[in-house]
Chain A
């Protein structure tokens, strides 16, 4: 589904990704962990096509297409979804209206008829249950005045509505209390159907108790320095990131 080969990227003059290799197959859940500043969020932004990052080398294939050649909106329409770490507010645009526009733009791209209001509301009702999101929240301006938990839940709700092939969750757990975390994770788990894939970016192991990954990768200084199964996350939790640094032969200050 997603194949990243030697991906390098920078922002302004600063090299951040220094050769990422990663393969994600349909139905797999991959977790990317790593200390602050290792390039986790940059990877998410580059895959989604944020223009402030410049790709300086490497290849990315997504669903058989050259991802880096596609505009951000076409990447989305091809089924790549990014749940933002900091979801953006758009005053005056109701969440419902926003999602309806998003769903219908994607349908148009795929040559499908737009959903009418009745069809849309029917699907919306189903997906609302999935992430335990409230109707009143969806009538409000997109993310405006939402709590941290509401914003994240809204991201997962949009994900459910758009039914992407690959969902990238960029530190979705940050700023969530344990209940919100559980709801968000359950929402994701209900979307796991053996075909959809997930790339879960997180700083802490905690989220992975709820969304159990097939693979865990450690990103450090712009490279994946270790890959393993979910046990790797537990090991990281126990020993901290320092043991990775030690393994890499770096001096760790006590």
Chain B
């Protein structure tokens, strides 16, 4: 064991293979944040007055708010005046089709393994790609439109579907919900909008790919998904960033609305740059994700595979308002080297006969800190609410930390809330057993962690499960000697 630990101390994170920078001219705002910048962003996007007012209100509130200190993470204060809040890849003209996208950008997507052409033709996954802050191209739009599905960039949605945006934007995560949500509301420059009309089952996975490219910028995207009565959609987001010595801020907001009998499945494969092995650089990933099961028998399911970012702070949550609604949270969070993650969920049972299920798998290596923080809340009128939570932690080595902070608030005595938690270590005997069958240690660790995370990985759409499995293995490469 001691040999394993020594090697553990010495080894570095494997090369982050998404660390390139694309040489594209960017149209940027100067660093700093003020009302002028908010107006600048809104003007750049040719937004209507109501949108500007919405942003300004959020900005004014944000100025009065404090940076949250309660997560179990430590990091230097972010200098909000040194960040550029708008950076758009410069394009020569409006894009009418995929073929007109900047070839450099196209190459970027190909490096990411999401050749838009390929995606379009083969995989049946519709992709919206957001580089820095701007949505570049949305594939499959026409095919989706035939069924009345709207899948476009947030900017476009504000222009083309103002009635829907005015109705739903901020309805789940209010503009002034918390510090980072308020910041996002003031300066978000793009994101994805998805609307599934009544009774429509979206025939393909919808996907957004986020990429931070320019230096010194923050990324503030905003995603809104509205699933009308009886509709269904499965949505996936992925993200990567270049390797930079500085920390970059990513403060996104995702809102989901599920009406009567609607179901939304939201999967995330988060692979922002985690910083180097000394903990230099990496993304600060401060994200607010919340869905509301507004209608009866509605269902929202969050699945996340979190392997990147220097500091992660996010709690995809579900408000179970509709009777018989269901909320699910499946999470694998991997931290290595100096990474810190404080992640979990909130399940707020308001309606009767609501159910929630939480499965959290934390994997810690190096000198990283990995915390699960979850709240299960059962309101006074939420008769017969059910929750099951399972939080398992797996440690690699003896210098990392795994923490569990479960909060349970129950105000209705018909509720049934169960919580199970385990902490285990990858044992030397497990590794040796695998070695004895011809598996080297890296392969053995990959196998063991994928086994550990299986219940969550099984929730991912097929197309991404394999990629996510590889990602888990890569994130922990070299962490056991």
Measuring CB to CB, which residues of chain A are less than 8 angstroms from any residue of chain B?
48-52, 71-73, 75-77, 81-82, 84, 87-88, 90-93, 97-99, 101-102, 105-106, 109, 141, 158, 162
Contact = CB atoms under 8 A, between A and B. Distances in A.
Nearest to A72: B435
Contact of A162 (B3, B438, B450, B455): B438
A92 B454 contact: yes
A92 B450 contact: yes
Question: When A and B form their complex, which 3 residue pairs have the shortest distance between CB atoms, in order from nearest?
Answer: A92-B451, A93-B451, A72-B435
A49 B438 contact: no
Interface string B437-481: 111110100011011111100000000000000000000000000
B341 to A, nearest CB: 21
Contacts of A90: 430, 433-434, 447-448, 451
B456 to A, nearest CB: 10
B432 interface: yes
Nearest to A106: B438
B363 to A, nearest CB: 12
B402 to A, nearest CB: 17
B437 A76 contact: yes
Given A90-B430, A92-B454, A49 B448 contact: no
Interface residues of B, number: 25
A49 B437 CA distance: 12
B440 A93 contact: no
Contacts of B434: 90, 102
B436 interface: yes
A105 B438 contact: yes
B15 interface: no
13 contacts: A72-B435, A81-B436, A88-B427, A88-B430, A90-B434, A90-B451, A92-B451, A93-B450, A97-B447, A101-B439, A102-B437, A102-B438, A102-B439
Contacts of B454: 92-93
B69 to A, nearest CB: 36
B428 interface: yes
B433 A52 contact: no
B438 A93 contact: no
B451 A50 contact: no
B77 interface: no
B429 interface: yes
Contacts of B453: 92
A97 to B, nearest CB: 8
Contacts of A101: 439, 443, 447
A76 B433 contact: no
Contacts of A49: 435-436
Given A90-B451, A92-B455, A141-B451, A51 B436 contact: no
Given A51-B3, A93-B451, A101-B447, A73 B438 contact: yes
A88 B433 contact: yes
B82 to A, nearest CB: 44
Residue among B427, B430, B432, B440 with most chain A CB within 10 A: B432
Contacts of A97: 447
Contacts of A50: 432
A109 B432 CA distance: 18
Nearest to B451: A92
